[in-house]
Amino acid sequence: MTYTIKIICGYFVKKMRKKSENLRKQKKSAIIPFMEKEIMKQKQKLNILILSCSTGGGHNAAGMAMKEYLEAQGHYVDFPDYLSFAGERVSEAVSRIYVKTVQKAPKVFGAVYKIGDAVSRHVKKSIVYYANSGMDEYLRKCLEKTDYDAVLVPHLFPAETLTSMKRKGIKLPLTVAIGTDYTSIPFWGETDCDYYVVPSKEVGEEFIQAGIPKHKVLPYGIPTSLAYSSQMGREEAAKKIFKEKVFDRQNQKLYLVAGGSMGAGNISQLVRELKRQGEAHDFILVVCGSNKKLEEKLRQEFESEQTVLIYGWTNEMPVFMQAADVLFTKPGGLTSTEAATARCPMVHINPIPGCETANMNYFVRRGYSISAKGAEQQAAAGIKLAYDEKLREQMKAKQQAEFKGDTAEKIETLIYSKISRN
């Protein structure tokens, strides 16, 4: 009997030891990749160059989001204005022409975009490529000054220059292009970066169709500032805005109206419609961006209105978005991504023909936003959304499922994985 008990006990002891050993192996296998990643990060701080230019605020915003994240991890980041290599006058002239065209003649911009789209389908080297290849020497001198681990380009123009340099046999660091729209804009297909970070798999298919090799296309999303992911809550965000003002979160709505970095679109008419259709005690917060004329016009028109708050350029957009019941915005790729990351219900308005039309269609199709034509319909749609809690929560849930706010971290991991093999 004693012998039998010993055998049984021995069997169970062996079984428990084996189970314990298996658990240790599982924990070890889970811990090792994490430890390797942490050791790799501690081993080397990165030198990163980010290149963009001021033709639309979204490109620079994506670059700034990357700079913010990378510097928070202890890396060294340079972020010059790419066009300023050719002189400040060149940079200012290009930026001024772009901004004025978008503000004053969006249809002209749309026509040029369509022409560019058609041309890019039939040529391997466009006029855009040749124009930016003239920047080779300026960029080469920049790269010679610092031993960069990677160059990040959230803009087509420097990607064209890097492509030209690569074709001439100039040695380059790792090059990563970052798409900032929910479509493949004209001429991306003629560039040759090492990798292309795109907003989603669906957009990635457009890049592949444009001629980018599939293995280079990475659907990581669009980088946004960490502030948009903070989720401070509407109550706390509203307190930061109103401070001493009386604002009843339960009974008053807050509408945020933004025309992008350039203050484009018929903002004045939309604000009038919101005042006409909405409740008298609801607040309207208007961000005019760099459009000084619009800011001045609105201040004069609504000077006596205590519930209309006018801002020019501001760094408080993350707070505004997290406080707002509804955002009215033109469908820039960055602004739309920032709003979705902040879980802000939105109405897309007045798209600039071209990539913004594609952005709007992408968001509306997936339930991340709604849209309407004309200020009267846009205001009505936004007011209805503000009072439809079920629709708002559905929209926010869809945004949360797609927009994680972790794109910058993924790009950092990509850089580490590639330079560690060199």
Q: Which two tokens stand for residue 397?
A: 């849930």
- The secondary structure of residue 151, as a DSSP letter, is E
The per-residue pLDDT for range 176-215, each reduced to its tens digit, is 999 999 999 888 999 999 999 999 999 999 999 999 999 9
Query: Is residue 66 within 8 Å of 220, Cβ to Cβ?
Result: no
* Strand ranges inside 235-337, DSSP E: 254-258, 283-287, 308-311, 326-329
Residue 10: pLDDT band by 50, 70, 90 thresholds? low
Q: Which of 21-35, 289-303, 342-356, 361-375 has the lowest mean pLDDT?
A: 21-35
Q: Which of 10-14, 165-169, 369-373 has the lowest mean pLDDT?
A: 10-14
Q: Write the CB contacts of 227 (distance below 8 Å, at least 6 apart in sequence).
A: 318, 319
Overall pTM > 0.85: no
The pLDDT of residue 242: 82
Interatomic CA distance for residues 120 and 107, integer angstroms? 20
Residue 9: pLDDT band by 50, 70, 90 thresholds? very low
The pLDDT of residue 123: 64
Cα 297 from chain centre:
30
- The secondary structure of residue 351, as a DSSP letter, is P
The per-residue pLDDT for range 113-143, each reduced to its tens digit, is 556 655 556 567 888 888 888 889 989 999 9
Interatomic CA distance for residues 200 and 408, integer angstroms? 15
pLDDT > 90 in the chain, percent: 57
Other CB atoms within 10 A of residue 134 CB: 11
Q: Which two tokens stand for residue 56?
A: 């639309």
Q: Which of 52-56, 144-148, 272-276 has the lowest mean pLDDT?
A: 52-56
